[in-house]
Structure 1
Amino acid sequence: METERQKQRKEEFLKQQEFFRTNAVLIINEMVKMRKEEIERTEAPSPASPLVDEFLHSIFFLGKINNPEFSPECILDDDDILLKELKDNYPQPFVLCSSQVPKRSPMSYVLNMIVNLMGQENEDTIIKRLCEFTIKLKPGKTKHLVSSTVCVSQKNSDRYYGVSMSTSGPIPGRIMIAASCLSTWDSNVAGAVMTYYPENKEKTKKTYFDGTIKLPEEVRCQAFSLSHRKEMPPCRSCGNLFGLTTSENREWPYGHCAEAESLSNFFKKKDEVREQAQPESDENRKMATESVLKELIKLLNMQKFKWDRHFYTLQV
């Protein structure tokens, strides 16, 4: 029989979990609003957007693996009009959130949309708008769907952005880091992260593979807090992965920080810098990749998610 204390813990847990649904609705409404803003600016012929499509799948997938589970219909339970609009324009995420894994976490798509609207060169405006939206989200104790940092990677005037993983709890975060390594991050960034992932309790690197890189000194890679808009030094993990100079000793989960996505976007457009930041070794990369895939499958099984071995992409 449940004790009073157990009941209180259960009620508190369910209360905290409700922040997932609350934040999901806020983020979905923000993306829909920005898409309408984008349509007005560009006179786009269709209300649908591949970016919004993949974003919705990411949100719905995280709802699917959440405890307790939130279906798309449960998330949007209070807005029948929005639910119908999204089902009409974006039918695939409602179906495939139960079988396919997203390539990115939700706030990555929000940042992507903001950059599209504001213009890639307008760093201050981009960070300001992202911060203003982030503080509207309900953090709770577990910060459901909330990114804590944004990062800018830059050489000359070109800037490329990324956010930290907008997941709560260790398992969803580890799932999304693995998925990003296997499906969307630049191979140099993925290799660096896979050097440590799946990490052991001591957070030591693999003995058989070293894909870590050293970023050229002329490249700026600067993270900012989304709650205070202050510059943040790289953590020890990012120092180990990318050769960033830091006096910080704290190690966040490898691949969690905004630097990974920002540098990935940077390398995809800057081949000459990418060539300078070659990994220590590419030997045994296949073995490292297989270990990440094995870990991803294990984590999905723990969440009782039946993966069809596809990462979600809009089928046109």
Structure 2
Amino acid sequence: MCAERVQEIIENGLVKCTFYFLMTITFLSGIIYSWFCVRLANWEQEYMSNAAQFILKALGLLACDPNLRTLFDEMLHSILFLGYCLEFRATPEETLGEDMCELLRDSGFSRALMEYVNKLPRRSPFSCLLDMIVTIVGRDNADRVREELRDFINNLDVKGSETLIGKTICITSDLITNEVLTYGASLSHTLKRNKKIILAVSCLHTWHPLVSYAVMCQTQGVAKVSINLQNISASCTAYDVNTLEEKPPCHFCQEMFPLEGNVPIHGPSHLPGNCAEPEAISKLLRIKNINMNQTNIELIANLGHQYPRHVSLESIYMPLE
């Protein structure tokens, strides 16, 4: 009887311990989930506040040059699309407010307010902003472009991490004449899903196919691909958008874009395609008319046979899981 009683006590104790343990886990899970929901709500509110400021400030640039309307429309579409990618599928009215949306419709920007749901953007809002400022200031005045971009950013009261603002721009220049050739912007999205979407559509539709292929190979670890740029007499320099100081290329960019003018100093390794160099080099290859006779898909498919394993197009074009 004593042994049975002892066993009963032990079993009851184990049941109680298990019960209290499960209750504790459930309680802690509830706290963590509540914190996550609050943080997510705050993050989304921060994004919408930042987006409204970004658009309102960019609207002011249209007064400087009416030819900026196409770039502004592209920027608006990208911002609304990324807002729709938030957890609760933000509408334009939720992102920008009803008054702002009405103003945009009256100003002739209704296309972006309708197509954000079913049409992918081609690049980040920050890339569009950079092109707007280059158009206003002039391509050859690189110092002023950097200063105007910095001033635009400093006049925004952005909060949180998803500020829509990239940290770096890149400028390519002719080594002989010092003529400024192209500009590029880094990705501005901290949310991994949004960053992958912009990276994917950039590879598929926006960047030069050679740049797209090199980025995809680096992203998937297929092979180290260096684009042959020996016939291009150009330098490629990255700058911090806030301090205006030069930044060394990251490890991946140094491997992908071995330009003669680059200083062989490796900075930190970022996500391949995240930096400003891919966009700037892509534009450089286009103005030099290098390999422009094929589409991205055709050239990527042909180049794939030169390496041990073929790049999986689906995993870079649709990384939405």
Is the 2:216–2:316 Cα contact (8 Å) retained in structure 1?
A: no
Instruction: Please point out which of 73, 79, 87 is paired with 1:59.
Output: 79
- Structure-2 change in CA distance of 1:30 and 1:225 (3 Å): same
Tell me the CA shift for residue 246 of structure 1. 3.4
1:50-129 residue pairs with structure 2 within 5 A?
A: 50-77=70-97, 80=99, 82-88=100-106, 89-129=108-148
- Per-residue Cα deviation, 1:101-145 (whole angstroms, up to 9, x for no partner): 111100111111101100110101100011122234456452431
Question: Larger helix proportion, structure 1 or 2?
Answer: 2
Tell me the CA shift for residue 282 of structure 1. 5.0
- Per-residue Cα deviation, 1:57-93 (whole angstroms, up to 9, x for no partner): 111110011234321111121x61x321212412221
- Range with greater deviation from structure 2 (284-293 or 86-95): 284-293
Is the 2:168–2:239 Cα contact (8 Å) retained in structure 1?
A: yes
How many residues end up aligned between the 2 structures? 280
In structure 2, how many angstroms separate the alpha carbons of the residues matched to 1:227 and 1:175?
Answer: 26
Q: Larger RCO: Structure 1 or Structure 2 (Cα < 8 Å, ≥ 6 residues apart)?
A: 1
- Per-residue Cα deviation, 1:13-63 (whole angstroms, up to 9, x for no partner): 322332211211121112211112213xxxx6xxx8222221111111100
In structure 1, how many angstroms separate the alpha carbons of the residues matched to 2:193 and 2:212?
Answer: 19
In structure 2, the residue matched to 1:305 is none
Structure 2 gaps of 5+ residues are 1-26, 293-298
- Range with greater deviation from structure 2 (143-152 or 187-196): 187-196
Tell me the CA shift for residue 215 of structure 1. 3.5
Instruction: Please point out which of 196, 204, 211 is paired with 2:218.
Output: 196
In structure 2, the residue matched to 1:168 is 190
Instruction: Please point out which of 210, 222, 239 is paired with 2:254.
Output: 239
For 1:179, give the aligned amino acid. Answer: V
* Identity of matched residues, %: 26
1:1-316 residue pairs with structure 2 within 5 A?
A: 3-4=30-31, 6-39=33-66, 49-77=69-97, 80=99, 82-88=100-106, 89-137=108-156, 140-155=159-174, 156=177, 157-197=179-219, 199=220, 204=221, 206-207=222-223, 211-216=225-230, 218-243=233-258, 244-248=262-266, 250-271=268-289, 282-284=302-304, 291-299=312-320, 302=321
- Range with greater deviation from structure 2 (112-121 or 163-172): 163-172
Is the 1:139–1:146 Cα contact (8 Å) retained in structure 2?
A: no
Is the 2:200–2:318 Cα contact (8 Å) retained in structure 1?
A: no
Is the 1:154–1:266 Cα contact (8 Å) retained in structure 2?
A: no
Structure 1 gaps of 5+ residues are 303-316
- Range with greater deviation from structure 2 (21-30 or 134-143): 134-143
Greater radius of gyration (CA): 2
> SS where residue 170 of structure 2 aligns?
strand
In structure 2, how many angstroms separate the alpha carbons of the residues matched to 1:11 and 1:178?
Answer: 30
> SS where residue 113 of structure 2 aligns?
helix
For 1:223, give the aligned amino acid. Answer: A
